[in-house]
Amino acid sequence: MASKKSAIFVGGALLAAAAAYGFARKGTSDLATVDSVDLSRYLGRWFEIARIPNRFEKNCIGDATANYTRTDDGKIAVVNSCRRPDGRLEEVKGTARVVDTTTNAKLKVSFLWPFSGDYWIIGLDPDYRWTVVGEPRRRFLWILSREPRMSDFDYNQAIRTAGEKGYDTTKLKMTLQRDVH
């Protein structure tokens, strides 16, 4: 009987959390994305240059990357990796799907079904050398680059883009990129 009550409690807690998440999202659609993303150019490996700290990367000390590849069913396979304090490289795999096919700039990413998060491309270099990724509540932000290091000029452009979109860029934490993996 106790396990049935636990299951009901957990199920109810998940429903309450989902409802709260939905209410918290209201009024957050004012975050502008880029006008267009060529997904074939966007796919590939990106190095994390900076991020607003978040709970799912709390044990990452550096060497963070994201790799995107197209799957046979039209989705995007996502492999995020980072170096842990013990020196180990850890990977997490997920999938992404485009939710705005007009621009391809709004995606939903899931690492644990059925939960997913917003992945909005809010800044993108014309040559796809760097990108700024956020989400409408402005709690998460990543600056990614095709190379492990960005020029000061490009980094300042990415920061300016994030600031213009309403992000508090003073919260950004640089990501240590020691080696290419």
Quote the pLDDT of residue 21.
40
Check pLDDT > 70 for residue 61.
Answer: yes
* E-assigned strand segments in the chain: 44-51, 62-70, 76-83, 89-98, 106-112, 115-124, 130-134, 141-145, 173-174
Q: Which residue has the tokens 């190379």?
A: 147
Which pLDDT does position 75 carry in this prediction?
94
Average pLDDT over residues 124-132: 98
Task: Please write the tens of the pLDDT for every residue from 82-120.
Answer: 999 999 999 999 999 999 999 999 999 999 888 889 999
